[in-house]
Each structure stands twice: as structure tokens, then as C-alpha cells.
């Protein structure tokens, strides 16, 4: 769930150049002018090598020490650095940067392209898949990435419930996985599986992860750098603060152009936008309409506004349960009546939400798959569609036995007022704004609504302690995963346990359709089944998609010269189905040195430094004298 904020109007001072920042830093510590000049004038290549060695030795380099460092403001905190547990978008984004998958999605049109696997074939009956693993992928500790790593990853997910927490749906149908040699992975299936070229599972290094004990508790956040084979390597992590990554110089596609990437968490998006204006960060996501409008006229800042891959929905507690059918939580029993659920949804004005909350930076929602994925996008028929109709909502409530009392409050047969709670993300102003509209719309029906805005909605959600909740998910080009999280198999093993389920839905008809689509290789037939699944999900009324928000984000053009969106023609930067944005991002000329970050040479920056150097020699002397005097005065 992403957070947003409002804008500020502070003028954007130019960000300090890295060379000058290092001058000031070294001067402040009393370093010699000769060391200062040597550091500032060091060629990019040599400096990157020194920093790489420092990071590899367990001393991650800070952003201030980098000449080609990019800080990205993020609005979610990391839930886990383990790819077996992580569910939040920020975490899965990190894992796409750190680990290769068997396949990737093309940045232009999201078609399947090679990644760790260079090619793949299936047997005529589609029950055996063979992947050829590339020879030129190495782990960041120098070991070769092989089919053994992929076999270990999948087998662990097949045999360890903890390891299946995040992505277990992909391997639930696997019968046997073997590495016949270092370059050949063979997957045998129980029945055909249509997602075999879209297995969104990070492949981990066997020689590191085979030492892990309890996969359900191991968060991979104690030993750094984290061994990976993607374009970036995690070097440092501070919970609820930042994640630092350095470029993987041995990445088979080529090293990223930014030496360091820092994902910095901002609870308040106002602060993130202010940091973008000052140049403290180079990229900000989840902009509000007001922020986007303000930044669109700011110098050295480009706003990207494109159709997103997310949906924003109302989720209703269907009666939280585990896989054995054991009920838990405290969801309101009135919401188990489909007439009550339909009445609530009929009293939601989606157009008003698009116009007033998102101010046009969203599209009205209906089906579960956003229109960006045109093949799978579904819309209800005119007869099936729940339209904004408060009068119809009133009739539905009356038919369900809920009348208004003398005070205008809706009450049941027991005389108790109808009141609900809705989980709201405290950091998301859209949640809060829509919550106020719901209070108004449902209040007109005599229904009370308590908007519970929390920093942590995960705990009460997993415990089933909610009536309704604001929900959202990013959808992949293949829709299997976001459909699987509503199957009975995705339910948790017990009350409060972590599971793949998004909202505790368990519906036999939906499950039957899911089982049929996963084995269907005919694209047209599978599309039809996926649309029927969305229709069923819509009719059960436990999930109601209100809007499909645009990806509204911005970056500094004096820090980022170019960066790929996905789709390449008009798409998002943050949260892509791949690593294309941050792998492709090119430092702006001047931010990486006046030679555009190519390294070497004696450009204008060096001569400026030399010219300033004479003055710095005197300045160092003054600083040393002042420090001596201060020290003496402190002792007195």
C-alpha cells in the first residue's frame, strides 16, 4: 500500500556537486589539502573500485562518498529482505534488483524475455519444462550461478511452508525439480501450468541459503553485503530508514550507470517532495495531484504521469479463517450478508473519487485487472454493474432487515446501530480523503463508519480484526499471482499466521475457475477464464475495485539524464515488472562529473578544484587554529 502527501512551495536550490561536497567534508575534518585534492580529482573508475572494495570488506560507502549515487524516496518500509517472505512493493522491487528470475518481461511490451534462463522448452504434454541456465551469471561473492541454485530455490518452496510464504502458488503444482547439470534445470509438473514462462520467483544462491534454519523467521537483514546476481547488491539496511545498494560490476547485462542506489523511507510524502526540491533525493513516487502540479513547473524536475499497474479497492472481511476452516478475528457479521455489501458499494461514487481525490490522475475501477493489461481487463455488463445509486442502497438495507430509527441511524432487528470500522494507512492521504467521503455517503444511509488510520495495518489485517480495509495491489503482466491470493490454498495455516491470502476469501467456484485457467495454454481460452474469475470476485462482493490510480512520480533531471519507463512508450518508473528503470538510469552530466560519468580526464571540475586548492591550504590552517582554540576553551 503506497503513501502520498501534499506539496510544499519552497524554491529548489541547486544540489551541491559531489566534488564540492567532498571538499567541504574533508575541510571540516581538517584533512590536508593534498588529500582533499586527490580525492576530489580521482578518476571515476578508480574511485568506484575503491568503494567496491570497501563495501565488499563490510564497510558500505555512504551516499556522500559517491560521485554517482542516486537517492530514491520510497513511501513504504521494507517488510522483509527475504524473497521468501516479502510482500510489499518496495521489498519485491529490491529483490528484482538483487536476484535474477528465470525469465523477465521486456521493457517495451512486457513479453517474456530471457533472464537467468537463456531458453526453455516443454514436452509435448506440457508436463516437463527444461530451462538452459546462462553461463555468464555469477553471484556477487564470485561463485557461478547454476541450475543447482534454481533447483534449491524451488525445492525449498515445495518442502518448507515458511519458504512458500510469498510465492508458494508458483510451485504448488510442481512434482519434481532437478538440476541435471550446471546449465540445465528440469521441472516436472503434476498437471500443465500456464505460468511456466512467468515464474516471478527470485532465484537465491544455494551455498548461502542452505545454511538458513527457519525460513519463516529469517529476514536476511543481518549480514551484508547480501549475495546476489542482479544489477545491484544490498550493502546496508536500517529498518524504517533506508536500504543502500551498490552496482554489481559483474552483472551479465552490464553494470548499472549509477554506482550506488539508496532507497530512503519517508513516512511523510511532503518531506519527500521537499527533499526532491533541494536535491537531497533524485526521485519521488506516489505524488498527490497538488504535488504533481507544483513540481511540473519546478526547474530541473520532470513529472511522469502514466497509466499504472495497480488497483485501489475496498476489501470486506469475509470472516477470517485458516486452511482448516477455523474462524478467527472480529469482522462484523452484518457484512456476511451480500445485500449489505452491495448496498455499501452502491453508495460509493467512483467518479467523485476520480475527480475530487485523484483529480483526474486515475480511472474508475470495475474489474480486478487494470486496463493497462488490456487482454485480461474485464468490465461488468450493464445488468451486473453496481452503479452509484443511494436509493437502491436504501432498498437493499431494508430488505436485509436494517431500518432507520427515530435518530436516523440504521439498526438491525436487535436494535443495535449498524457501525463499521475501516483500516486506513496513516501515511496515505488518499485513504483519509476517501474515508471522509465514505463517512458522508454511508452516513446518509444511517450507517456509522470509524476510519482507523494506523502506521501498521498488517497486524490487525492478519488477525482478521477489521470490518473493511483500503486495499491495493500491483498486477503483473501474467495475472496468475493476484488471482491466486484469493484462493482457499492461500489462507494462512493458523490464526495470525502469515499467508499469501490478501483478504481471507475462499470460494469454491472461484477456485474451480482458477484451477482451469492455470492449466490452459490457449491464450484466448485462458483470457476467458480469467475474466470469469473477475466476474465471480465482483459478484461475491468481498472486493470492490474503486479506481486504477496513475503512476504519478517525479525525478531531478540534473541528477538523472535518462531512465526507462515500462512500458517504454508511456509507463511507470517505480515498481516495474523488472529492473529496467534503475538499471538503465543514466547520471546527468555534471552530477557524475563534467565528463558525464565516463571517468578519467582532467575536465573543468579538476581545474576549478586546483584553483580553489590554494585558498583551501590557508583555510585548513585557519580551521586547525580554531579547533585548537576551541579545545583549549572547552578544557577551561
Instruction: State the pLDDT at residue 14.
Output: 34
Instruction: State the pLDDT at residue 531.
Output: 98
Phi, psi of 39 (to 5 degrees): -65, -45
Instruction: State the pLDDT at residue 46.
Output: 33
Instruction: State the pLDDT at residue 566.
Output: 97
Distance from C-alpha of 353 to C-alpha of 407, rounded to nearest angstrom: 29
Examine the domain organization and report whether 29 and 149 are in the same domain.
no
Examine the domain organization and report whether 194 and 314 are in the same domain.
no
Give 409-430 pLDDT, tens digit per residue: 999 989 999 999 999 998 888 9
| SS3 state of residue 302 | strand
| Residue 172, in any domain of the structure | yes
Q: Which residues pair with 448 in a beta bridge?
A: 419
| SS3 state of residue 478 | coil
| Residue 581, in any domain of the structure | no
For the chain, the residue count is: 636
What's the sign of the alpha-carbon dihedral 89, 305, 97, 70? Answer: negative
The mean-pLDDT minimum among 29-38, 108-117, 468-477, 551-560 falls in 29-38
Instruction: Give the pLDDT band of residue 620 (cuts 50, 70, 90).
Output: very low
Distance from C-alpha of 146 to C-alpha of 141, rounded to nearest angstrom: 14
What's the sign of the alpha-carbon dihedral 277, 280, 285, 287? Answer: negative
Q: Which residues pair with 128 in a beta bridge?
A: 188
Distance from C-alpha of 262 to C-alpha of 259, rounded to nearest angstrom: 10
In the predicted model, is pLDDT for residue 451 greater than 60? yes
Instruction: Give the pLDDT band of residue 67 (cuts 50, 70, 90).
Output: low
Instruction: State the pLDDT at residue 595.
Output: 39
Q: Which helix (H) or strand (E) holds 418?
A: none
Q: Which residues pair with 103 in a beta bridge?
A: 114
Residue 136 CA, chain-centre distance (Å), reads 28
Instruction: Give the pLDDT band of residue 634 (cuts 50, 70, 90).
Output: very low
Give the C-alpha distances (Å, rounded to integers) separating 46 from 49, 244, 324: 5, 21, 60
Phi, psi of 482 (to 5 degrees): -70, -15
Q: Please count the other Cβ atoms lying within 10 Å of the Cβ belonging to residue 309.
A: 24
Examine the domain organization and report whether 110 and 41 are in the same domain.
no
Place of cell 450507517: 447
Give 290-336 pLDDT, tens digit per residue: 999 999 999 999 999 999 999 999 999 999 999 999 999 999 999 99
* Residue ranges making up the domain that contains 608: 19-53+603-630
In the predicted model, is pLDDT for residue 606 greater than 90? no
CATH code of 394's domain: 3.10.105.10
Instruction: State the pLDDT at residue 497.
Output: 83
Chosen domain end from 192, 224, 256: 224
Q: Please count the other Cβ atoms lying within 10 Å of the Cβ belonging to residue 238.
A: 12
List of residues 6+ apart from 535 with CB closer than 8 A: 378, 380, 384
Examine the domain organization and report whether 34 and 120 are in the same domain.
no
| pTM: predicted TM-score of the whole model, two decimal places | 0.81
| SS3 state of residue 168 | helix
Place of cell 477456485: 511
Examine the domain organization and report whether 325 and 216 are in the same domain.
no
Give 340-359 pLDDT, tens digit per residue: 999 999 999 999 999 999 99
Name the more confident of 14 and 231. 231
| Residue 594, in any domain of the structure | no
Distance from C-alpha of 603 to C-alpha of 81, rounded to nearest angstrom: 41
Examine the domain organization and report whether 220 and 353 are in the same domain.
no
Chosen domain end from 208, 224, 240: 224
DSSP string, 611-629: HHHHHHHHHHHHHHHHHHH
Chosen domain end from 224, 249, 269: 224
| Residue 279, in any domain of the structure | no
Instruction: State the pLDDT at residue 579.
Output: 97
In the predicted model, is pLDDT for residue 629 greater than 60? no
The mean-pLDDT minimum among 21-30, 189-198, 282-291, 321-330 falls in 21-30
Examine the domain organization and report whether 110 and 45 are in the same domain.
no
DSSP string, 166-219: TTGGGTTTEEEEEEEETTEEEEEESS--TTTT--------HHHHTT-S-TTT--
In the predicted model, is pLDDT for residue 166 greater than 60? yes
Burial of residue 205 (CB within 10 Å: 0-12, 13-18, 19+) is buried
Instruction: State the pLDDT at residue 427.
Output: 83
Give 105-133 pLDDT, tens digit per residue: 999 999 999 999 999 999 999 999 999 99
Mean pLDDT over residues 569-583, rounded?
96
Examine the domain organization and report whether 33 and 104 are in the same domain.
no
Give the C-alpha distances (Å, rounded to integers) separating 171 from 115, 124, 293: 19, 20, 45
- Report CA Rg, the chain: 27
| Residue 211, in any domain of the structure | yes
Grid coordinates belonging to 441: 455517503
In the predicted model, is pLDDT for residue 568 greater than 60? yes
What's the sign of the alpha-carbon dihedral 163, 169, 170, 176? Answer: positive
Q: Please count the other Cβ atoms lying within 10 Å of the Cβ belonging to residue 520.
A: 18
Give the chain's end-to-end CA distance (angstroms, integer): 56
| Residue 482, in any domain of the structure | yes
| Residue 58, in any domain of the structure | no
List of residues 6+ apart from 281 with CB closer than 8 A: 71, 72, 73, 264, 272, 275
In the predicted model, is pLDDT for residue 29 greater than 80? no
Give 482-526 pLDDT, tens digit per residue: 999 999 999 999 887 888 999 999 999 999 999 999 999 999 999
Asked whether the beta carbons of 36 and 610 are under 8 A apart, the reply is no
List of residues 6+ apart from 24 with CB closer than 8 A: 16
Examine the domain organization and report whether 120 and 24 are in the same domain.
no
Mean pLDDT over residues 360-388, rounded?
96
DSSP string, 326-393: -B-S---GGGGSHHHHHHHHHT--HHHIIIIISTTSEEE--SSS-TTSTTT-----TTT-----HHHH
| Residue 490, in any domain of the structure | yes
Distance from C-alpha of 40 to C-alpha of 65, rounded to nearest angstrom: 10
Asked whether the beta carbons of 326 and 506 are under 8 A apart, the reply is no
Examine the domain organization and report whether 482 and 370 are in the same domain.
yes
CATH code of 202's domain: 3.90.76.10
Distance from C-alpha of 469 to C-alpha of 421, rounded to nearest angstrom: 8
Mean pLDDT over residues 264-287, rounded?
96
Instruction: State the pLDDT at residue 65.
Output: 40
Mean pLDDT over residues 243-258, rounded?
98
Asked whether the beta carbons of 556 and 304 are under 8 A apart, the reply is no
Examine the domain organization and report whether 328 and 448 are in the same domain.
yes
Structural domain count, the chain: 3
Tell which residue, 199, 194, 188, 210, has the closest CA to residue 117: 199
Instruction: State the pLDDT at residue 499.
Output: 82
Distance from C-alpha of 47 to C-alpha of 595, rounded to nearest angstrom: 15
Distance from C-alpha of 593 to C-alpha of 599, rounded to nearest angstrom: 8
Q: Which residues pair with 157 in a beta bridge?
A: none
Examine the domain organization and report whether 544 and 618 are in the same domain.
no
Grid coordinates belonging to 81: 529482505
Share of the chain above pLDDT 90, in %: 79
Q: Please count the other Cβ atoms lying within 10 Å of the Cβ belonging to residue 61.
A: 22
Instruction: State the pLDDT at residue 8.
Output: 29
Angle at CA of residue 475, ends 471 and 478, nearest 5°: 145
Distance from C-alpha of 288 to C-alpha of 368, rounded to nearest angstrom: 23
Share of the chain above pLDDT 70, in %: 82
Residue 479 CA, chain-centre distance (Å), reads 17
Amino acid at each position: 500500500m503506497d503513501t502520498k502527501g501534499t506539496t510544499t512551495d519552497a524554491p529548489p536550490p541547486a544540489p551541491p556537486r559531489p566534488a564540492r561536497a567532498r571538499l567541504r567534508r574533508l575541510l571540516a575534518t581538517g584533512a590536508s589539502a593534498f588529500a582533499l585534492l586527490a580525492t576530489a580529482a580521482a578518476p571515476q573508475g578508480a574511485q568506484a573500485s575503491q568503494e567496491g572494495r570497501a563495501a565488499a570488506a563490510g564497510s558500505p560507502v555512504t551516499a556522500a562518498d559517491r560521485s554517482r549515487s542516486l537517492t530514491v524516496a520510497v513511501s513504504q518500509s521494507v517488510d522483509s529482505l527475504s524473497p521468501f517472505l516479502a510482500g510489499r512493493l518496495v521489498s519485491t522491487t529490491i529483490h528484482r534488483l538483487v536476484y535474477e528470475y528465470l525469465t523477465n518481461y521486456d521493457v517495451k511490451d512486457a513479453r517474456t524475455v530471457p533472464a537467468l534462463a537463456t531458453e526453455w522448452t516443454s514436452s509435448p504434454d506440457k508436463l516437463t519444462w527444461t530451462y538452459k541456465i546462462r553461463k555468464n551469471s555469477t553471484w556477487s561473492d564470485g561463485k557461478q550461478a547454476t541450475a543447482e541454485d534454481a533447483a534449491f530455490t524451488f525445492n525449498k518452496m515445495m518442502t518448507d511452508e515458511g519458504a512458500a510464504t510469498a510465492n508458494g502458488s508458483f510451485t504448488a503444482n510442481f512434482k519434481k525439480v532437478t538440476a541435471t547439470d550446471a546449465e540445465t534445470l528440469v521441472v516436472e509438473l503434476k498437471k500443465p501450468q500456464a505460468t511456466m514462462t512467468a515464474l516471478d520467483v527470485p532465484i537465491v544462491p544455494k551455498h548461502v541459503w542452505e545454511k538458513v534454519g527457519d525460513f519463516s523467521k529469517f529476514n536476511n537483514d543481518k549480514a551484508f553485503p547480501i549475495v546476489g546476481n542482479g544489477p545491484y547488491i544490498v550493502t546496508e539496511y536500517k529498518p524504517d530508514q533506508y536500504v543502500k545498494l551498490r552496482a554489481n560490476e559483474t552483472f551479465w547485462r552490464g553494470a548499472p550507470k549509477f554506482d550506488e542506489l539508496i532507497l530512503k523511507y519517508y513516512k511523510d510524502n511532503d518531506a519527500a517532495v521537499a527533499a526532491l526540491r533541494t536535491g537531497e533525493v533524485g526521485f519521488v513516487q506516489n505524488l498527490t495531484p497538488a504535488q504533481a502540479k507544483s513540481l511540473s513547473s519546478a526547474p530541473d524536475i520532470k513529472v511522469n504521469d502514466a497509466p499504472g499497474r495497480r488497483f485501489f479497492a475496498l476489501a470486506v472481511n469475509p470472516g477470517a479463517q485458516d486452511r482448516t476452516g477455523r474462524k478467527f478475528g472480529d469482522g462484523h457479521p452484518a457484512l456476511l450478508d451480500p445485500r449489505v455489501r452491495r448496498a455499501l458499494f452502491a453508495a460509493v461514487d467512483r467518479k467523485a473519487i476520480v475527480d475530487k481525490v485523484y483529480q483526474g490522475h486515475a480511472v474508475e475501477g470495475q474489474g480486478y485487472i487494470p486496463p493497462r493489461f488490456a487482454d485480461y481487463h474485464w468490465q461488468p455488463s450493464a445488468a451486473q454493474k453496481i452503479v452509484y445509486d443511494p436509493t437502491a442502497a436504501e432498498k437493499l438495507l431494508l430488505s436485509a432487515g436494517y431500518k432507520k430509527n427515530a435518530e436516523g441511524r440504521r439498526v438491525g432487528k436487535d436494535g443495535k446501530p449498524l457501525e463499521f470500522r475501516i483500516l486506513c494507512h496513516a501515511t496515505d492521504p488518499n485513504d483519509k480523503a476517501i474515508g471522509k467521503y465514505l463517512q458522508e455517503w454511508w452516513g446518509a444511509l444511517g450507517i456509522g463508519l470509524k476510519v482507523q488510520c494506523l502506521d501498521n495495518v498488517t497486524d490487525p489485517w492478519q488477525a482478521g480484526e477489521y470490518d473493511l480495509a483500503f486495499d491495493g495491489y500491483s498486477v503483473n503482466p501474467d495475472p496468475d499471482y493476484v488471482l491466486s491470493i484469493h484462493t482457499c490454498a492461500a489462507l494462512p495455516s493458523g490464526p495470525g499466521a502469515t499467508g499469501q491470502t490478501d483478504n481471507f476469501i475462499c470460494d469454491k467456484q472461484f477456485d474451480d475457475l482458477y484451477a482451469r485457467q492455470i492449466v490452459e495454454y490457449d491464450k484466448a481460452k485462458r483470457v476467458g477464464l480469467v475474466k470469469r474469475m473477475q466476474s465471480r470476485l465482483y459478484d461475491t462482493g468481498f472486493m470492490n475495485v474503486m479506481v486504477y490510480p496513475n503512476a504519478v512520480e517525479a525525478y531531478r533531471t540534473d541528477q538523472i539524464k535518462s531512465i526507462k519507463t515500462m512500458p517504454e512508450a508511456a509507463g511507470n518508473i517505480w515498481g516495474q515488472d523488472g529492473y529496467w528503470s534503475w538499471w538503465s538510469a543514466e547520471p546527468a552530466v555534471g552530477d557524475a562529473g563534467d565528463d558525464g560519468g565516463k571517468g578519467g580526464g582532467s575536465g573543468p571540475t579538476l581545474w576549478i578544484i586546483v584553483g580553489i586548492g590554494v585558498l583551501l591550504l590557508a583555510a585548513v590552517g585557519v580551521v586547525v587554529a580554531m579547533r585548537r582554540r576551541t579545545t583549549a576553551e572547552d578544557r577551561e
